Amino acid sequence: MEKGVIVLFLLMGTLIVSDGWARAEEETEMLMELTEEGPAHVTLEIINPNNIEELKSIITEPAIKGVYLESFTSVFGEVQDFEISASSSSIVMEFDTTLAQEEAGVWVVDRTDFDGRLNPITELKVVLPEGYNLKEADPQPDEIREGYLLWRDADYIPGMAYERGSSPIRQLVTGLLIITLLIVAIMFKNRRKSP
In a shared domain, residues 109 and 190: no
- Identify which has the larger pLDDT, 108 or 9: 108
pLDDT of residue 16: 41
- Identify which has the larger pLDDT, 67 or 3: 67
Phi, psi of 103 (to 5 degrees): -135, 100
Confidence of residue 170 (pLDDT cuts 50, 70, 90): low
Dihedral sign computed on CA atoms, order 154, 110, 96, 77: positive
In a shared domain, residues 75 and 134: yes
In a shared domain, residues 111 and 46: yes
Mean pLDDT for the chain?
79
pLDDT of residue 166: 59
In a shared domain, residues 101 and 91: yes
In a shared domain, residues 45 and 7: yes
In a shared domain, residues 63 and 157: yes
Give the predicted TM-score (pTM) of the model. 0.69
CB burial class (10 A; 0-12, 13-18, 19+) of residue 52? buried
In a shared domain, residues 97 and 8: yes
Q: What is the mean pLDDT of residues 48-67?
A: 83
Q: What percent of the chain has pLDDT over 70?
A: 82
Strand positions, DSSP E, the chain:
27-34, 39-47, 79-86, 90-98, 100-103, 106-109, 112-113, 121-127, 132-138, 143-145, 148-154, 156-157, 159-164
In a shared domain, residues 101 and 123: yes
Whether the CB-CB separation of 148 and 127 falls below 8 Å is answered with yes
What element of type H or E holds 54?
A: helix 52-58
Q: What is the mean pLDDT of residues 48-64?
A: 82
In a shared domain, residues 154 and 175: no
* Domain range for 190: 166-195
User: Does residue 1 have a pLDDT over 50?
Assistant: no
In a shared domain, residues 40 and 111: yes
In a shared domain, residues 19 and 111: yes
How many structural domains are present in the chain? Answer: 2
CA angle, residues 165, 167, 172, in degrees to nearest 5 = 125
pLDDT digits (tens, 9 = 90+) for 11-43: 334 444 333 444 447 788 999 998 887 788 999
In a shared domain, residues 37 and 88: yes
